Amino acid sequence: MTSPAGTPSPPPASLPHHPVAIIGGGLSGLLLARVLLASGLEATVFDLESGPGARTQGGMLDIHEETGQAALRTAALYEEFRAKVHPGGEAVRVWDRAGTLVHDEPDTGDGGRPEIDRGDLRALLLASLPPHALRWNAKVTGARPLGGGRHEVTLADGTAFTTGLLIGADGAWSRVRPLLTPARPAYTGISFIEFDLPDADTRHPGAAGVVGDGMCFALGGGQGFLAHRETDGSLHLYAALRAHEEWLDAHDFTDTEKTRALLLDTFTGWAPRPRALRDEAGGGFVPRRIHALPAGLTWERVPGTTLVGDAAHLMSPFAGEGANLARADAADLGTALLAHPGDPEAALAAYESVLFPRATGTAALSAASLDLLFGEDPAKHLVDLFTGKEDPRG
């Protein structure tokens, strides 16, 4: 792919060119495109999915004031976001394994960390973009530098294009990241079994009574249940535990009855009330391993490319910051590009000077919180964390 002299070979003259190519149509990629396009800069989002409704988008997100909400203000979408907030979603309950409700915090309505359905937020971002800015069925298989900050990007269908600025917003297994660093996500030791309980108040009253109106944690013995109520009245749950990396592979999660039996056999020693989160599981199980990039990951400045969101700082969900940082990344990168017209390298350097320390601190918090939630007396430690009595980083 290089010339005999060792310099990057030029691409064919016929390849289409995109001034800014954002790889990945998740929350960070879409928000970055919104910031740039709203200010008159040309940007195109490339996503591997067939369209915006190709898959469900997960559960609820709590949007933090200083990161996620600030990013939505930068994108001029804050009022639209507020209109879709889940009333009551900021309520939090914490149960221990013995069935004691050790923390029951109502939603005070102050808006500090309002909850929104991930799908609603993504739909809001998609609606803010012109259709021509989105390219679906565009799975990136590789990218190579051409010199001068330009890159050639190849797609799974055999086509390619060039770009003057390549942004990796393509998540945990980013195809853009190898241009910057050889770092890859590692398994954290935690596995999830994800499932939903629809029409919870009527069909799953035991679980609904445990979860309440917002978010719920039931923790103990190196395992637990993480749950939240969604806007349609369903409950979205994760049964979580410490397990070796191959544990999920030993089970067929498409077999509902075997998976229900696995939950009963694995999540033992729970008191009747929190046990309802296990006992009322009905089906639709999705296994997930939790991976993370190394805390403190940085890279040397590479002309013409950078990363946002999970591509830059994948972390476990136990600090509740990953999605908020993704939006903050997008807003900060967009702002930096607008502040340095005609000088993308200055913009990328300015952005990364903010990205690296922020991600380092939050990744450390996430890793420490994982140890706290799956260690000794986790419910008490989590309450102390919520109330400011404890910092898991020591």
pLDDT at 108 over 80: no
pLDDT at 20: 98
Question: If you search the block for the tokens 């039996």, which residue do you land on?
Answer: 261
Handedness of CA 284, 289, 119, 218 (dihedral sign): positive
**Residue 316 pLDDT class (50, 70, 90 cuts):** very high
Instruction: Give the phi and the psi of residue 19 in degrees, each rounded to 5.
Output: -55, -45
**Residue 320 pLDDT class (50, 70, 90 cuts):** confident
Instruction: Give the phi and the psi of residue 330 in degrees, each rounded to 5.
Output: -60, -45
Nearest partner of 317 among 297, 288, 296, judged by Cα? 288
Label the pairing between strands 160-168 and 223-229.
unpaired
Helix (H, G, I), strand (E, B) or coil at 273: helix
- The token pair at 352 is 């990364």
Give Cα 127 to chain centroid, integer Å.
Answer: 20
Reduced to 3 DSSP states, what percent helix, strand and coil does the chain have, rounded to the nearest 5? 35, 25, 40
For residues 313 and 293, is the Cβ–Cβ distance under 8 A?
A: yes
Tens of pLDDT, residue by residue over 329-372, are: 999 999 999 999 999 999 999 999 999 999 999 999 999 999 99
The answer to whether the pTM exceeds 0.85 is yes
For residues 9 and 145, is the Cβ–Cβ distance under 8 A?
A: no
For residues 285 and 253, is the Cβ–Cβ distance under 8 A?
A: yes
Which top CATH class is 186-292?
Answer: alpha beta
Extents of the domains making up the chain: 17-86+114-183+294-373, 186-292
pLDDT at 64: 84
Whole-number CA gyration radius for the chain: 22
Which top CATH class is 17-86+114-183+294-373?
Answer: alpha beta
For residues 161 and 16, is the Cβ–Cβ distance under 8 A?
A: yes
Helix (H, G, I), strand (E, B) or coil at 374: coil
- Say how far apart CA 286 and CA 1 lie, in whole Å: 40
Tell me the residue type at 250.
A
pLDDT at 258 over 50: yes
For residues 17 and 162, is the Cβ–Cβ distance under 8 A?
A: yes
Nearest partner of 227 among 259, 195, 271, 188, judged by Cα? 195
Average of per-residue pLDDT values in the chain = 92
pLDDT at 5 over 60: no
**Residue 4 pLDDT class (50, 70, 90 cuts):** very low
